[in-house]
Amino acid sequence: MKRIILSAIIALTLASCTKAPSPIYPVPTDAQLEWQELETYAFIHFGLNTFNDLEWGYGDTPATTFNPTDLDCDQWAATLKNAGMKGVILTAKHHDGFCLWPTKSTDYNISKSPYKNGEGDVVKELSEACKIYGLKFGIYCSPWDRHNSFYAFPEYVETYHQQIQELTNNYGPLFEFWFDGANGGDGYYGGACETRQIDHNKYYDYQRAKDTVLAHNPTAMIFGGPFQAVRWIGNEKGYSEPTNWCNETENGTEWVPAEVDVSIRPGWFYHENEDDKVKTVNELCDIYYNSVGHNSNLLLNFPVALNGKIHPIDSIRAIEFYNTITNELSNNKLYDAKVKADNERGRRFSASKVNDNNSETYWATDDDYPYGTISFSFEKAVTLSKVMIQEYVKLGQRVKSFYLEGCKDGKWFRINTFDETTTVGYKRIVRFNPVELDKLVINFEESRGPLCISNIEAY
């Protein structure tokens, strides 16, 4: 008897000591992972362009044209919170060079505008509203400056660094800093009205910019420039391809997860003639599934209107969008299902870890098993139209391809998804026409190493 108990204890100890799979590099930093977990956050485009009905101001409109009558950053933050946004990035300075804070680096700023008789500071007002509403705060500060007479000369670089310094010192903590990719071209440039080109990798001294941002905000993600921690997806339409590696390509050596930026309206800035062009709830949901559902973060832009508020059409639409998504992803049918896998790396990494509601646990396969099949059996048939899969990316992104199968009344069939089932990463959501099932099977066909799947849900 004693011997049986002893061997049971040894077996249990061995099972719980099974070694975790070795990481497959690259892997995310803790800060990158925390950023990926935000999933959706907002952009605010607001500035002189708003009052001049422009997208790219030339840099010649007087600061006095900035005149919101009813600016209310609390309304922005409350709206964004209700739309499920986890943070907000503000265009503190767009290409026209106008600064939304009372910077000492240039006169072309809010203190020279009628707003609060020159006493206003939108960067401060929004950063404070974010603290009240529990939103993260980030800043966009355009490197290109179409107003500054020294743009393309060494003097402007100092001005730009002073701006970064002020923004990163005084308004943090910042979760993201955006260096826009639009660099040089025609502009006012203090009256010169000419075209100026620069080599953006050299001209701005991005190394120094990065050091300044991180000195005060060590966990901030840097977007753009040569030292970016997160990357642009390559379009502004709101989608990422389904095959999406956080390391850019299957063999990429750096972890640089993607961000999808898109505006809720055609323009980034507010234009009255776009009031009837706000994206529909369906379009926004599609954007969500093609961004967050494709292993990317979604940065959804809200153009603030002339009065200084998010327009009611936009806010209602965004809240409806959030409610729709929340509703669509709220009833996880796998939670009570019986889970089985064809291979498990011991008890600590059993298949049941994919539906234990714990993102720190995961199902893993043996080292010589870079694939695997997991099945979910339902007591009563369920109707499904979406599957969400998450890899335990702390150990690297692995899955290269998978497919879904279903079983109803003893008949097996392949589930035809709307888009190809290739990579997974931090999060992958696949959609398909509603189908009734007794059993759902996910076949992971190819992976860069043993599988590490932390979560699977279906709706």
The Cα angle at residue 108 between residues 106 and 110, in degrees rounded to 5: 110
Shortest distance, CB of residue 122 to ligand FUL, whole angstroms?
A: 16
Q: If you ran DSSP here, which 8-state letter would residue 84 be given?
A: T
Name which of 97, 172, 102 is nearest 138 in CA terms. Answer: 172
Task: Name the residue nearer to ligand FUL (CB basis): 134 or 234.
Answer: 234
CB-CB contact of 395 with 255 (8 Å): no
Shortest distance, CB of residue 44 to ligand FUL, whole angstroms?
A: 11
Judged on CB neighbours under 10 Å (0-12, 13-18, 19+), 448 is middle
Neighbours of 218 (CB within 10 A): 9
Gap between the Cα atoms of 312 and 318, Å rounded = 10
Shortest distance, CB of residue 127 to ligand FUL, whole angstroms?
A: 19
Task: Name the residue nearer to ligand FUL (CB basis): 227 or 403.
Answer: 227
Task: Name the residue nearer to ligand FUL (CB basis): 299 or 415.
Answer: 299
Could you please report the per-residue DSSP string of 257-318? -EEEEEESSSSSS--GGGGGGPPPHHHHHHHHHHHTTBTEEEEEEEEB-TTSSB-HHHHHHH
Gap between the Cα atoms of 283 and 302, Å rounded = 15
Task: Name the residue nearer to ligand FUL (CB basis): 166 or 261.
Answer: 261
What three-state secondary structure class fits 53? coil
Shortest distance, CB of residue 181 to ligand FUL, whole angstroms?
A: 5
Shortest distance, CB of residue 152 to ligand FUL, whole angstroms?
A: 18
Binding positions for ligand FUL, rule: CB under 6 A = 55, 180-182, 261, 268
Gap between the Cα atoms of 198 and 37, Å rounded = 36
Shortest distance, CB of residue 447 to ligand FUL, whole angstroms?
A: 35
Cα 86 to its chain centre, rounded Å, is 10
Task: Name the residue nearer to ligand FUL (CB basis): 284 or 387.
Answer: 284
Task: Tell me which residue has its CB nearest to ligand FUL.
Answer: 182
Shortest distance, CB of residue 142 to ligand FUL, whole angstroms?
A: 7
Gap between the Cα atoms of 146 and 14, Å rounded = 66
Gap between the Cα atoms of 259 and 94, Å rounded = 19
CB-CB contact of 123 with 139 (8 Å): yes
Shortest distance, CB of residue 303 to ligand FUL, whole angstroms?
A: 10
Shortest distance, CB of residue 34 to ligand FUL, whole angstroms?
A: 23
Q: End-to-end alpha-carbon separation of the chain, Å?
A: 48
Task: Name the residue nearer to ligand FUL (CB basis): 268 or 392.
Answer: 268
What three-state secondary structure class fits 77? helix
Task: Name the residue nearer to ligand FUL (CB basis): 179 or 189.
Answer: 179
Task: Name the residue nearer to ligand FUL (CB basis): 178 or 392.
Answer: 178
What three-state secondary structure class fits 203? helix
Q: Which two tokens stand for residue 310?
A: 């998010």
Q: Which ranges of 44-196 would DSSP assign to H, the alpha helix?
A: 48-52, 73-82, 122-133, 154-170
Shortest distance, CB of residue 261 to ligand FUL, whole angstroms?
A: 5
Task: Name the residue nearer to ligand FUL (CB basis): 181 or 226.
Answer: 181
Query: Residue 137: in which H helix or E strand, if any?
Result: strand 136-141
Task: Name the residue nearer to ligand FUL (CB basis): 200 or 353.
Answer: 200
Could you please report the per-residue DSSP string of 347-374? GGG-GGGGGSS-TT--EE--TT---EEE
Task: Name the residue nearer to ligand FUL (CB basis): 90 or 384.
Answer: 90
Shortest distance, CB of residue 56 to ligand FUL, whole angstroms?
A: 6
Cα 33 to its chain centre, rounded Å, is 11
